[in-house]
Each structure stands twice: as C-alpha cells, then as structure tokens.
Chain A
Amino acid sequence: MLIRRPDDIPSSEITREADYWNRRKFMGAAGSLAVGAALGLTVPGRLLARAPAGRRPGQEDELTPLEDVITYNNFYEFGTGKDDPAEHAHLLRTRPWTLEVDGEVHAPQTFGIEDLWQRFPPEERVYRLRCVEAWSMVIPWLGFPLADLLDIVEPTSHARFVEFTTLLDPEQMPGQQRDILPWPYVEGLRLDEARHPLTILALGLYGKALPGQNGAPVRLVVPWKYGFKSGKSLVRIRVTRDQPRTTWNVVAPREYGFFANVNPEVDHPRWSQARERRIGELRRRPTLMFNGYADQVASLYAGMDLRRYY
C-alpha cells in the first residue's frame, strides 16, 4: 500500500496528468480502508487524509481531481452506471454542433459551437457541484453567463421560463435506446434564475473543451441546484411563457421538484440531503443551503415555501 506524501503535489497548481495516476495509489489505500473497515478492522486516522488535488487562489474548496470528474458521471444518455458515460461518450460527435435559441424572443438565433467560443470567450468558474444522490465535486468550469446569450436574443415581455433540451440521437447516445427516461432530456429554469450571474453555459473544464461524458460541447451549470438541473449536450434553448415539463419532475414528481435547489433541510423521500460525500473524501460533510451560494441566490426565493417548492 503506497501513500504519497502530501508535499509531492504543489497545492497551487492544477493537478497535472502524472498526479492523476499517483492519486490512484491513494485511492487504493482508501479502498483497502473501506474494505478493512467493513471487516471491522481499525482504521488509522491519518490515512483518511486525502492527497491535495490543487486549489485556486482565493478558493476554499479543493478541486476534485480531473480523473474523478471525467470518470464518475450521471449522464443516462450513455448508460446508467457511473462509468458508462466515460466508456461510451466517444460515440458523441460534437463537430459540427448547433445550439438553437428560440421561443419567446425577438431575435431567435442558431449558434454554431465555434460561434459560442468566439462570441462568448469563456472564463474559469470554480463551482461546487452537488448531486441529488448526496455526493459532490468541485469543478473548474470554462463558461460564460447565460444572461449574455439571452441578451442577444432579446426575450419578449411574455418570457417567464427557459427550457434546455439535450441532443436526441440513440446512435450517438446508446442509453437512449432504452426507455429509462422520456427522451430527449429536458430541463428548465425560471427566467430570473437563468439570468442570474452564477448561471453559466459551460464549454469546458480544467482548461480544455468539455469531454463528452461531462456534457460536450455545451452544457448548463447552475451551482445552487442539484446536478440534474444542469442539462448537458444542449441543442436547444427555448424561452417560454409556461413552466417547462422537466424530465425528472415528470418521471417522479414527488422525488424531484422543478426547483431542485440544494437544501439540507428537505430530504429526498428515500434518503437524507443533510450531508454529502465530497468525491475524494471518505467522511461525509454537511450540505450547505443553496450549496453554499445562499448569499447570492436566496433572494430569488424570498417568501417561497421551500418545502413545498422543492
């Protein structure tokens, strides 16, 4: 069992490729610990400390290693196992790719993926991602505010919601060959949520274009909501008058609300949302209201009963 020494990794840098492999040794140790713990053996406390994965200046959260970000995914279009997306995403063709933006707008437009990169030069945003399954990551996205794109298409006075549609193509997305969910995947936001400065369209992560399993070539990222709200591999953004019929809400309305704001006080009917396992850590940590973005977003929901509108 090899445990790397903490001082091997420069904590100020993005984790380099070699480091992803080194950390496997740590995870091996962690895995043995889990098995050992399951067998009732004593776990030396010091081994639970995780090798640092790097941190951005001014950020308190340690980045989740790239290897985990691109191998542990929920993207049912490529299969329901966590490792299925990484295995099958190579089938996805992201060039050419167009994103249609229409609906209640004065100037509907179709953007080629290159247009998006040119017209909206992406900036890095390090966000916490909290999955509804009670695990979380910290990901350095490359993206731009969705509001910038909405400004260009000019929503009409009737605009109240925004709908996001994922690609439908069972050949590129083999998971769509089974009726696990009603395809294509549709998500939605209220217009004010969509225009919030934290809401971005991501084109990349860790300084490069998005890998297929993370929603290439363009995806939504709404950091204060559970991960399923952030639609991947988007082909259409439609501004609407009525609340969009969003996929998980249609499938299991009692379990997945339209809002799906991260909220440690409102449990999923089948499991607790009070705590989460940060990927790379063994011990769970408390989940924060609005995933820690309450200062920025709580005002969007002033006066709303968050137990009712979960």
Chain B
Amino acid sequence: MTQGQVVRRLVKPAVFVGAFVPLALLLLDAAAGDLGANPVETVTHRTGFTALTLLMITLAVTPLRRMSGIGALATLRRPIGLFAFFYATLHFLTYAVDQTYLSGLGVSPAAIVEDVVERPYITVGVTAFVLLIPLAVTSTKRWIKRLGAKRWQRLHRLVYVAAIAAVLHFLWLVKADLFQPLVFAVVLAVLLGARVVSRRPDGPRRRREPPRALPTEPTGLSSRS
C-alpha cells in the first residue's frame, strides 16, 4: 500500500471509530451508573474535554502533513474537525439544559443570555462554539466552490480564534490547578507556532501559487484531500 492508501484505508476508519469512543464510554458509564455523584458535571466536563482534544488534533493535521510530506493526511482534517464540533455541541447543549430545564428557575432565554454575558469563561466558551458553527456548515466541497478557495480559506482561519477561545475558557474556569488547561495552551502555542514558522520563508510566494494548492492549505474544518 502507498502512504496515501494507508491513510485512506486504515487511518481514516480508525479516526472514525476512535472519535466515537468518548461518546460510547460516556453512554456506557451512564447506563452503568458510573457518572459519579454529579452526573451533569461529569457529562459537561467529559464532552468539553473531548471537544478541546479533537480541536487540537485537527490543528495538528496540517503541521504533520507538512513535516511528513504525506498529502493524504489532509483528508483527516474535515472528519476530525466535525467530530470536535459534534462534542462541542454536546458540551454546549449540556450547559444549555443545565441553565434552563435544570436551573430550577424554569426555561428563560433571558437567564441564559445573562449568564453568557456576565461570566467571562462562559462568554469565551460560547464564542468558541459559535465560531465553529459556520466552519462546520461550510465544510463541504460545495461550499469551497461557492465561496471560492481564497475566501473559504480566510473564513476557516476562524478555527484559530475558536481554539484560543476554547483554551481560554478552560483556563478561566479552573480554581487552582492549571495543569490540564496549561497543557492545552502549550500544545496550541506549538501548533500555531508551527504555522508561523512554515509561512515565513516562502510566505509571499505561496500566496501567488495557483488556487489548486489552496484548498489543501487551510487548517480546520476542510473537506479537500
């Protein structure tokens, strides 16, 4: 098998299976009653942690592709990005249900808006989630054509902002032990730094390359191979 075939036939299916593992474990634990004393908190934490992890993996695809020279790796970016969005959606919905049906105050959109505006860590968390929505929607080939590769690429750079907001969200909510959010912060810094470094020497020339190259360039929720 060529490297491309290995990616398509082995790695990609493994990614699909792997991305469902956190959800499967969550449902199994729920069925077995192993979500602990505070199940809502457990679901919130685990979906959030998975979303953030998958977001980092999405951002790692392009640097890995450049370093390894295995172009087919780019096909992993869209599914992983969409899985990140899927878990972010579960995370957000858990929060939304907690703030409405489980708030003990009845369902009040005003209350949720107030919470989002008043609590900085909620504000940045919701920002990260909202920024991912247009990226998930426009992750298809049709949308690349419709927007044009260049505009599409520019739009999908929002994933950087979303990732920074998501890490900030995590950093901001912990009480004293910053270890886990700082690990994410360092990983994100490395992933973003890798892009700055790879751009610098041939940055201006790269932009003049024919559009053919462009769809493989943008990071985040891309659809092209």
Residues of A within 8 A of B (CB): 1, 23-32, 34-35, 37-40, 43, 67-68, 71-72, 76, 80, 82-83, 133, 135, 178, 180-181, 251-252, 270-272, 275, 277, 279-280, 282-286
C-alpha spacing A160/B97, complex, angstroms:
47
A28 touches B177 (CB 8 A): no
B30 touches A82 (CB 8 A): no
B176 touches A35 (CB 8 A): no
Residues of B within 8 A of A (CB): 26-27, 29-43, 47, 90, 93-94, 97, 101-105, 115, 119-121, 172-173, 175-177, 179
C-alpha spacing A23/B33, complex, angstroms:
8
A270 touches B120 (CB 8 A): yes
- Chain B residues in 8 Å Cβ range of A135: 38, 41
* Known contacts A251-B176, A282-B102, A283-B102; A38/B30 CB under 8 A: no
- Chain A residues in 8 Å Cβ range of B94: 34, 37-38
* Known contacts A34-B40, A37-B97, A39-B93; A270/B173 CB under 8 A: yes
C-alpha spacing A309/B90, complex, angstroms:
39
Given contacts A283-B102, A283-B104, 10 further A-B pairs with CB under 8 A are A25-B33, A27-B35, A31-B34, A34-B97, A37-B102, A72-B38, A82-B37, A270-B119, A275-B105, A282-B39
A72 touches B37 (CB 8 A): yes
Contact among B35, B93, B176 with A40 in the assembled complex (CB-CB below 8 Å): B93
**Top-7 shortest CB links A-B:** A28-B33, A31-B30, A72-B37, A24-B33, A31-B35, A68-B37, A80-B177
A279 touches B120 (CB 8 A): no
- Chain B residues in 8 Å Cβ range of A43: 101
- Chain B residues in 8 Å Cβ range of A271: 119
23 contacts between A and B (CB under 8 A): A24-B34, A27-B36, A28-B35, A34-B43, A37-B97, A37-B102, A38-B43, A40-B93, A76-B176, A80-B177, A82-B37, A82-B38, A83-B36, A135-B38, A178-B179, A251-B176, A270-B172, A270-B173, A275-B103, A277-B40, A277-B41, A284-B104, A286-B104
- Chain B residues in 8 Å Cβ range of A34: 30, 35, 39-40, 43, 94, 97
Taking the closest CB of chain A, its distance from the CB of B19, in whole angstroms, is 16
- Chain A residues in 8 Å Cβ range of B103: 275, 283-284
B36 touches A71 (CB 8 A): yes
C-alpha spacing A162/B31, complex, angstroms:
47
A284 touches B102 (CB 8 A): yes
A82 touches B36 (CB 8 A): yes
A76 touches B177 (CB 8 A): yes
Taking the closest CB of chain B, its distance from the CB of A9, in whole angstroms, is 16
A280 touches B35 (CB 8 A): no
- Chain B residues in 8 Å Cβ range of A25: 33
B36 touches A72 (CB 8 A): yes
C-alpha spacing A32/B35, complex, angstroms:
9
C-alpha spacing A279/B93, complex, angstroms:
21
- Chain B residues in 8 Å Cβ range of A32: 27, 30-31
Taking the closest CB of chain A, its distance from the CB of B198, in whole angstroms, is 35
- Chain B residues in 8 Å Cβ range of A1: 31
C-alpha spacing A38/B51, complex, angstroms:
14
C-alpha spacing A126/B214, complex, angstroms:
67
Taking the closest CB of chain A, its distance from the CB of B80, in whole angstroms, is 21
C-alpha spacing A37/B37, complex, angstroms:
18
- Chain A residues in 8 Å Cβ range of B43: 31, 34-35, 38
Q: Which of A34, A251, A283, A286 has the most CB of B within 10 A?
A: A34
- Chain B residues in 8 Å Cβ range of A72: 36-38
Contact among A24, A37, A82 with B101 in the assembled complex (CB-CB below 8 Å): A37
